[in-house]
Amino acid sequence: MKRSVRIVPPEAFGDLKLTPPKEKAAGIPAITSSLRHVQEEMGVIAGLRALNRMNQKGGFDCPGCAWPDPDGKRSALGEYCENGAKAISEEATNKRVTPAFFAKRTVEELSEQTDYWIGKQGRITHPMYLAADSSRYVPISWDEAFEKIATKIKSLNTPDEACFYTSGRTSNEAAFLYQLFARQVGTNNLPDCSNMCHESSGKGLAETVGIGKGSVTLQDLHQAELIIVMGQNPGTNHPRMLTALAKCKENGGTVVSVNPIPEAGTNTFVDPQSPLSMLKGGAQITDLFLQVRINGDVALLKAAMFLLLEKERANPGSVFDQEFIKQNTTGYQAFIDNLGNTNFSEAVAASGVPEKQIREFAGLLAEKKKIIICWAMGLTQHENGVDNIREIVNLLLLKGSIGRPGSGTCPVRGHSNVQGDRTMGIWEAPPEAFLDSIDKNFSITAPRNHGYDVVDSIKAMDEGKIKLFVAMGGNFISATPDSEFTGKAMQNCDLTVQISTKLNRSHLVTGKEALILPCISRSEKDQQASGDQIVSVENSMGIVHSSKGSLTPASEHLMSEPAIVARLAEVLFGNSPVNWGEMTKNYDTIRNHIEATIPGFDDYNRRVRQPAGFYLPNGARKGKFNTKSGKAVFTINKIPDNKIADGHFILMTIRTHDQFNTTIYGMDDRYRGILNERRVLLMNKDDIREQQLKPLDIVHLTSIYKGVERHAHNFKLVEYDIAKGCVATYFPEANVLVPIDSVAKKSNTPASKFVVVRVEKR
């Protein structure tokens, strides 16, 4: 039975209210907003008790972003931000989705609701099953659920008909078991949210500096002379990064922001953890704001480096670190020859930034030595996303700004353990050495052929090549591109299984049969045979530390993520050669296996219990580049051709201040001054006039890619300070416009920051 569920969220309007965009981030409004969310979901007392444990040594890790906690003393006023408070309120909510909830509603009915409504219903309490001939989930026992999955796996023609997705909140312990399970099944089909996120960073960095992770620590940020924040909105998505930027400024550093819109947090930051900052009215963060056109970053960097090269040629050794370049890099001459041929005025025009500001930027680059570049989705989610990262590396190499204190690469990760999941082997293209190690430690033979990443999984589903889809967290349907295409592809699967805490669209747009396996969350007590367990996570700076939940689980019927994987594996494989039954009695056993399999985890069980955890080895941080040549590599990257037809715009799909990816916390984008409405299109004043539109007009969007059109209707036009020719709206409502084939070369990351659209008045 094909259910007629809604794949794309309904086009319902809220009651839009506009206020001037905020000049200041955090401060009192952030505290008020945190408390409101805590109160609504958990009650004030329980909420504050939970917040007191969050990000403290021995407490639980914030389920929000991957920003690190300080190594040393932690603030008694709380080591969290507004969005951390929202994240915990959302997962520790008092509301419940019970079997009675499902008995009252079909999946079709549920799918007509907004994502906001769906997410707000509360925590799922029981394992649930959706039969092939039904539209209503009914309760199922854990044993029956595992039996169904095991039976399906046994029936596959090849293990590659199974696909195991992971979202980045999963702990190291759960992730390690999950990938091991997939490999014992016999597939490397392990797509993860990273494929849509920092995959371009991983690819670009591994190739040039020999490690697919960032090189800096928090200390480095504090010590840097110049920090460049590119394609990132830290005030909303990594709020405590502002504390680090403020420290850098206190120490005399300079901050440059590169963005098509001026984002609040990078203007002024009022540290809610610092009474002094509150009194003073906050610190100015950005010294120089460069309003690039969407995907104008390579052009900007090239233009700036061209100016540096002129200075260097006039006065050799004055700008570039020639000694560093000679000792540590390859490809310099070819890079310089190419850079010298840059058409400067064309590069300036392509960047969209006025020449005067580019000269100012180049002036800063010329005089500073300790430089850090931070970035996020504004650089990775482009067809040339990998080139963006390689160009950043070029600049840092010219300046000798990597592998030294106060300098280096800083890709700011999204989900709290997305980096750890990859370290644990959640990877569709695992290195041979990793698989050898798995084989040796567990006496299995892991498959060697690479599996599907996110985009390839969707295409495989479309072609009927995937029969079983399992998701360890996340919301695959809403997070992926080309929603209609993806939704139909997912419906081709025989069985889809979601291991989840809360309800989302992926529970409604399913395969023929579907299961929901509800799990405990990070903040909750994880009790196993040997007592309360800890799990561990790796943050954006490669620090592995423990996380211990303290709240009572949302329901007595929940299982932990590691226990779900181990139980399923035991049902399918028994306890030989992998002793799955032993695995979850005490998670120390899992960590011992991780230690035996993955480099850098020596003495894991002891070190993870150190109050601030431990740093994983990182060659680039120490100036050791683990590339083929043993040196860092200059690369040549073309300025992308971003010309689009007249009357078209480049659309970026971004996050509001009130959401975590597909989880909608509320309807306000407070810093941007857009309240009570998510269906908005941000457009520049001149463009509105030239298009003969008016602010608050209702418009329809059509994306055009290789002759195919995709539609999203009903957005209110908001006049906004955004680069000319560019427009913005929110993810996930706009994912229906992102073409499945528009992906970054090499990383296959959907280009969700570069969608060519037409804007038409309703």
Ligand X SMILES: Nc1nc2c(c(=O)[nH]1)N[C@H]1C(S)=C(S)[C@@H](COP(=O)(O)OP(=O)(O)OC[C@H]3O[C@@H](n4cnc5c(=O)[nH]c(N)nc54)[C@H](O)[C@@H]3O)O[C@H]1N2
State the residues that interact with ligand X by CB under 6 A.
Answer: 64-65, 83, 91, 167-169, 193, 196-197, 230-233, 236-238, 258-261, 263, 292, 294-295, 297, 376-378, 381, 414-415, 472-476, 479, 499-502, 504, 519, 521-522, 561, 652-655, 659-663, 731, 734-735, 738, 752-753
Dist. CA 614–CA 156, nearest whole Å:
42
Q: What's the min distance (Å) between Cβ of 86 and ligand SF4?
A: 8
665 binds ligand SF4 (CB under 6 A): no
Q: Which member of 21, 27, 64, 235 binds ligand SF4 (CB under 6 A)?
A: 64
Q: Which does 84 bind (CB under 5 to 8 A by kind): Mo ion, ligand X, ligand SF4, none?
A: ligand SF4
User: Does residue number 404 form part of the binding site for ligand SF4 (CB under 6 A)?
Assistant: no
Are the C-beta atoms of residues 86 and 37 closer than 8 Å to each other? yes
What are the C-alpha distances in Å from 635 to residues 155, 233, 316, 333, 366? 48, 27, 22, 10, 21
**Other beta carbons within 10 Å of 12:** 13
Residue 662's binding partner among ligand SF4, Mo ion, ligand X, none (Cβ under 5 to 8 angstroms by kind) is ligand X
Query: Of the candidates 30, 38, 197, 736, which one interacts with Mo ion according to CB under 5 A?
Result: 197
The secondary element (H helix, E strand) that includes residue 398 is helix 385-398
Scanning 116-124, 253-261, 413-421, 749-757 for contacts with Mo ion by CB under 5 A, the matching segment is 413-421
Question: 82-104: b or e for each residue (b if 16 or more CB lie within 10 Å)?
Answer: bbbbbbbbbbbbeeebbbebbee
The stretch near ligand SF4 (CB under 6 A) out of 75-83, 104-112, 161-169, 263-271 is: 75-83
Using CB under 6 A as the binding rule, whether residue 80 contacts ligand SF4 is answered as yes
Instruction: Give whichever of 210 and 473 is closer to ligand X, judged by the CB atom.
Output: 473
Closest CA to 168 of 151, 197, 193, 136: 193
Looking at the Cβ atoms of 176 and 614, the one nearer to ligand X is 176
**Among residues 595 and 733, whose Cβ is nearest to ligand X?**
733
Q: Does 84 bind ligand SF4 (CB under 6 A)?
A: yes
Per CB under 6 A, contacts with ligand SF4 among 27-56 are 55
User: Which amino acid would we find at residue 753?
Assistant: K
Question: Could you identify the residue written with the tokens 């009915």?
Answer: 109
Name which position in 24, 203, 222, 240 contacts ligand SF4 (CB under 6 A). 240
Overall residue count recorded for the chain in this entry: 762
- In angstroms, the CA 454 to CA 442 distance is 27
The interface region with Mo ion, picked from 104-112, 197-205, 647-655, 717-725 by CB under 5 A, is: 197-205
Pick what 62 binds: ligand X, Mo ion, ligand SF4, none; C-beta below 5 to 8 Å, kind-dependent.
ligand SF4
Closest to 481 (Cα-Cα) out of 740, 168, 196 = 740
Q: Which residues pair with 760 in a beta bridge?
A: 700
Q: Single out the residue of 358, 443, 361, 371 nearest to residue 401, CA to CA.
A: 371
Half-sphere exposure of 397 (CA within 13 A, CB side): 27
Q: Does 83 bind ligand SF4 (CB under 6 A)?
A: yes
Tokens of 460: 């495989």
- Which C-beta is closer to ligand X: that of 83 or that of 328? 83
Q: How far apart are CA 50 and CA 614, in angstroms?
A: 24
Question: Which CB, 260 or 400, lies closer to ligand X?
Answer: 260
Q: In angstroms, how far apart are the furthest CA atoms of the chain?
A: 77
Of the pair 539, 635, the CB lying nearest ligand SF4 is at: 539
Residue in the structure block whose two tokens are 């601030």:
612
The least CB distance from residue 660 to ligand SF4, in Å, is 8
Binding site for ligand SF4 (CB under 6 A): 55, 62, 64-65, 67, 80-81, 83-84, 87, 238-240
